Amino acid sequence: MNPLTATDANASARPTLGSCERSGHPLEAIAFFRRFKPSVGRDLVYTFVWNMTFVAAFTLLAFLFDPEASLTHVVWVNFVLANCIGYLLHLGFSLSNRLLGDSLHDLSFAGRTIYYSVVSVPAVFAGYWLGFTLLDYQKARQWTLSVPGATTIVLLSLTISGILAWVFYAREKQAKAEAAFQSERARVAAAERNTKVAELKLLQAQVEPHFLYNTLANVISLVDPNPGLAKRMLERLIDYLRRAALAATASEATLGGQIELLRAYLDLIVLRMGSRLAYRIDVPAHLTSLTLPPMLLQPLVENAIKHGIEPATRGGELIVTARHDGDRLILTVEDDGIGVSRVRSQGSTGLGLANLRERLATLYGPRAELMLQDRQPGTTVTISLPVNAR
């Protein structure tokens, strides 16, 4: 029997209810049976399973009253009757639900009980009549129209109706509660994500003015002694600011976009530091379209230059690489500067790396890793992320 299939098919478009309401077979009171997608074929199979539970129950009752009865005979009679009644109930509820549609969801518990009774009583009568006809039990068929028989069938139908009303009314209340919970959880997740985006914008707003002031100060110092170099620095600064503005307004950041921004930034630093800084970026073309959190590589590169290469008398080389490792993306920033041990001994707090580690934990949980290695000389920072899993 399938009291809510058609109704729930109509209700599936309503966003206020969860997936529990989109199916309506009584077996779905059991969690295992909610794992399978609702369909006509599935509900017919569920009705057969439902009918077999009644076959087992009534066979057991028959042997309690008559232990000498033939097992084969009792099972066969109950099998025919249970399937005739069960599939006629299935048909009756399917047709009535198509006629009544969403209006069923507005019924109270009492209204549901009346609805199930109106459908169940004639279906159970017809099921008994059909079953006894197939079994060629003429006297039993006549019993269905007698006062005792009709009374028994009505009482059985009302019992079934009450059970169905209780099961489905309780499940709909549970579905609405689950839908409200999922909606609230999605709202909280969206709020947390918006907060993180705002934090990133604030971080970017704090970093760029500092970098801009330093660059312009360098340009001013070069205007008289080296106007050609000052011009090149302004050109690269304009390129960098243009790319930074595009990145700030984009809804997503790709690895390729971050690399291009990084190149513009490093070109400016090279113009300032001269031969004391060399850099190399090794990122395969097929990885450039991958989506990453914004401002992921920039803090690592800035740390490497500020704390590793600039303090070294000879300067150093910076290497940025990206590669696939199974279903993970491995990003590496290496430098051959003074090394992490000397950086810590000089009082660096590592706040930038701590903030980045916190961001990764928020976005990916335990699936992301940030590792810091002292190369002696130099430092390697590695980020391991699940590919496109945010």
pLDDT digits 0-9 by tens, 298-349: 889 988 988 889 888 889 999 999 999 988 999 999 999 887 766 555 545 4
- Quote the pLDDT of residue 322: 95
Classified as helix, coil or strand, 46 is: helix
How many other C-beta atoms lie within 10 A of the C-beta of residue 360?
A: 19
324: left (phi over 0), alpha (psi -120 to 50) or beta: beta
Local confidence band at 15 (pLDDT 50, 70, 90 cut-offs): very low
Distance CA 240, CA 266 (A): 10
Kindly state the average pLDDT of the residues 131-155.
84
In order of their start, the domains of the chain are 5-185 (no CATH), 226-386 (3.30.565.10)
Mean pLDDT on 7-34: 51
Contact yes or no for 265/236 (Cβ under 8 A): no
At residue 48 the predicted structure's pLDDT band, cuts being 50, 70 and 90, is: very high
What pTM did the predictor assign? 0.48
Find out whether 38 and 62 touch, Cβ atoms under 8 Å.
no
Buried b (16+ CB within 10 A) or exposed e, 120-140: bbebbbbbbbbbbeeeeeeeb
Whose structure tokens read 């369909």?
Answer: 39
Range among 195-204, 334-343, 374-383 with highest mean pLDDT value: 374-383
**Among 174-178, 324-328, 383-387, the least confident range:** 174-178
Most confident of 140-149, 199-208, 328-337: 328-337
Q: Bin 36: left if φ > 0, else alpha if -120 < ψ < 50, else beta.
A: beta
Buried b (16+ CB within 10 A) or exposed e, 315-341: bbebbbebeeeeeebebbbbbbbbbbe
Contact 284, 322 (CB under 8 A): yes
pLDDT of residue 6: 30
CA distance 252 to 272: 31
Cis peptide before 377 (omega within 30 of 0): yes
Asked if 171 contacts 28 with a C-beta cutoff of 8 angstroms, the reply is: yes
Q: What is the mean pLDDT of residues 229-248?
A: 78
Instruction: Kindly tell me if the per-residue pLDDT of 248 is higher than 50.
Output: yes
pLDDT of residue 321: 96
| Of 213 and 350, more confident | 213
- Is the pLDDT score of 157 beyond 60? yes
For the segment 276-299, what is each residue's pLDDT rounded down to a tens digit? 999 999 999 999 999 888 778 888
Are the C-beta atoms of 261 and 243 separated by less than 8 Å?
yes
Return d(Cα 176, Cα 15) in angstroms, integer: 10
Contacts of 99 (CB under 8 A, 6+ apart): none
